[in-house]
Amino acid sequence: MHRSRMLFLVALLTIAAGCNATGTSVSNSNDAHSHAVAHDYKFAGQHPIRVLCTTGMVADLAINIGGPHVTVTSLMGAGVDPHLYKASPADVSQLNRADIIFYSGLHLEGKLGELLERMSERKPTIAAAERIAADKLLHDEHGARDPHVWFDVSLWSEAASAVADALTEFDPPHAAEYQANVKVYQEKLAGLHRYAQEQLAIVPAERRVLVTAHDAFRYFGRAYGIEVRGIQGISTDSEASSREVTELVGFLVERKIKAVFVETSVADQNIRALLEGCQARGHDVVIGGTLFSDAMGEAGKPEGTYEGMVRHNVDTIVKALK
């Protein structure tokens, strides 16, 4: 057996061995008043608390809310597609070592779902986005919940409350600090939400059309008054058909749209096909820029924070469309 495969199986057995610990598993409830995970765990180790997050956006919540009482690790770095992400043996080891786990939820981390559910049986494992009220969520044509809630900054502010409340419950001695930190962070997010509204309002209404590689920006469109189209569906696990590409080419030509956008975490071949299709019909379309969709930028750069990611996207879209 290949050595990495053997290590992975050993790690999974380790998880299974710990699944008899008292706790409750992930809840799929859409009730606006329920937590994604309820648990009775209390932190009994030494600070800082070891926090493991799936995506950079979730890690940004934990860093800002946990402050000096946490050390945060993100499984997925810049340019990583969470829809397609599969856990490695090293990832399983990190999940095992973590004191508390935060993930986005709403099936964003689809291939990690079973592993996260197993982890919830032995340690607090919280789906931050599942704190958001069900009536605020969008769905695709098949009824699946759209997981890209962070593109409406006001909704992501609600996810921040889930992280703060989980840390408060897990580490009561520092509860006041976590609750104070989340208030400061949510005030910052309120300012970011206003920035996006004001900047995107500069673009004339008839030009406010956002075409991207996959349908990740519907919350963004609803929150900031932009019509959005994606080649693939809400998950990159789906495949775009030639019919869908042809229909989108027709849309671009008919609406005389001049710019489309690529994403850092999605291959650009479908966008290139759009450009070629439009050119064949005598309509020139350019790539208006690169957007961060399912992953933030590199750590240490402005786009490596949630706020920097959103500002980059807003500024790129406004520059290309206005």
For 121, phi and psi rounded to 5 degrees?
-80, -10
Asked if residues 154 and 197 have their Cβ atoms less than 8 Å apart, the reply is no
pTM: 0.84
Domains 3-195 and 205-321 are alike in CATH topology: yes
pLDDT tens-place string over residues 205-243:
999 999 998 788 999 999 999 999 988 766 655 566 788
Tokens of 101: 């786990």
33 confidence band (pLDDT: 50, 70, 90): very low
In angstroms, the Cα distances linking 180 to 20, 67, 100, 190 are 35, 11, 20, 16
Domain spans of the chain? Answer: 3-195, 205-321
Asked if residues 312 and 290 have their Cβ atoms less than 8 Å apart, the reply is no
In angstroms, the Cα distances linking 282 to 62, 100, 276 are 49, 55, 10
- Kindly report the CATH number that applies to the domain delimited by 3-195: 3.40.50.1980
Q: Is the pLDDT of residue 19 over 90?
A: no
Q: What percent of the chain has pLDDT over 70?
A: 85
- Kindly report the CATH number that applies to the domain delimited by 205-321: 3.40.50.1980
Closest CA to 56 of 302, 317, 316, 318: 302
Q: Is the pLDDT of residue 176 over 50?
A: yes
Mean pLDDT across the chain, nearest whole number? 86
Q: How many CB atoms lie within 10 A of CB 31?
A: 10
